[in-house]
Chain A
Amino acid sequence: MQYLAMIYGDQAVWESFTPEQRDDAYKRYGAFAEEAQQAGVMAGGNELASTTTATTVRVRGDETLVTDGPFVELKESLGGYFVLECDSVDDACIWAARIPGAAHGAIEVRRIHVKEGEES
């Protein structure tokens, strides 16, 4: 089964990082990704640009409403996600705990919906 591990963190902390601190953070993410890859757990992921670059699209009636910014402003925002291939939600949580962002932000783990007849 696949799980989406959504990484929430304080963007202000990230933006306050020195280049050295960012390099260090990227190294720790790289190490996590490699470990998960070797264990056959890593199925994808993305780092998202800051919420200041977000655009939110809604369609109401025949009208498309486009607004700058995320759908909701939070102190801790979604900064990226990994797709994890795990046997159970408990396993997915064990892997989520190894994501560097878990140590200061939070990782929300949600199972990716499996359509009927495609159970894997």
Chain B
Amino acid sequence: MKYAALLTNNADDIAAWEQLTPEQTAAARANEIPRWEALFAELGPTGALGFSAELDSPSTAKTVRVRDGETIVTDGPFAELKEQIGGVIEIEAPDLDAAIAIAERIPVATSGSVELRPVIER
């Protein structure tokens, strides 16, 4: 089964993150990087992790709608939520429990959440 893991962060944490100096951002990243590296080093060779993407901050988002043939582009995310998607990782796992066992190891799970959604394969 293929799952999309949607990595979400608390909006307040994202806002606080955006206030950090480049040095502070680098320090915070350095703190998390070993956990990410361990995850990819262990699971990468097993083929359990597919495409992954870290997204730029929600404040940089554009939202696109087409109404009556006209394209309307607005600044900001689709919805102002308490938690915002910050990344996506595709997971290949035999079942949901196996996917959960991977999701709980994704560093974001300790601060925000990881939503697992089955991917429809047609």
Tell me, yes or no, whether A binds B.
yes
Instruction: List A residues at the B interface (Cβ < 8 Å).
Output: 2, 4-6, 8, 26, 44, 46-49, 51, 53-60, 64, 66, 70-72, 74, 76, 78, 81, 83, 89, 92-94, 96-97, 102-103, 105-113
**Interface contact B110-A55, CB-CB below 8 Å:** no
Q: Which segment, of B13-21, B41-49, B63-71, faces chain A?
A: B63-71
List of A residues within 8 angstroms of B120 by Cβ: 46-49
In the bound complex, how far is the Cα of B71 from the Cα of A37, in angstroms?
Answer: 22
The 0/1 profile, CB within 8 Å of A marked 1, for residues 92-114 of chain B is 00001001100110000110111
List of A residues within 8 angstroms of B77 by Cβ: 108, 110
In the bound complex, how far is the Cα of B7 from the Cα of A113, in angstroms?
Answer: 14
**What distance in Å separates the Cβ of B70 from its nearest Cβ neighbour in chain A?**
9
List of A residues within 8 angstroms of B58 by Cβ: 110
In the bound complex, how far is the Cα of B4 from the Cα of A93, in angstroms?
Answer: 23
Closest 6 CB pairs of A and B: A49-B118, A57-B103, A113-B54, A108-B78, A96-B64, A97-B71
**Interface contact B64-A93, CB-CB below 8 Å:** yes
Q: Which of B79, B81, B115, B116 has the most CB of A within 10 A?
A: B115
List of B residues within 8 angstroms of A58 by Cβ: 109, 112-114
The 0/1 profile, CB within 8 Å of A marked 1, for residues 62-92 of chain B is 1111110001010001110111010010100
A96-B64, A110-B56, A110-B61 known; A72 vs B83 contact (CB < 8 Å): yes
A71-B83, A110-B61, A112-B54 known; A64 vs B104 contact (CB < 8 Å): yes
**What distance in Å separates the Cβ of B71 from its nearest Cβ neighbour in chain A?**
4
In the bound complex, how far is the Cα of B78 from the Cα of A5, in angstroms?
Answer: 11
**Interface contact B114-A72, CB-CB below 8 Å:** no
Q: B28 on the interface (CB 8 Å rule)? A: no
Q: Which of B90, B99, B119 has the most CB of A within 10 A?
A: B119
Partner of B113, one of A71, A102, A105, A112: A71
List of B residues within 8 angstroms of A78 by Cβ: 6, 85, 117
Q: Which A-chain residue is minimally distant from B114 (CB atoms)?
A: A57
**Interface contact A109-B62, CB-CB below 8 Å:** yes
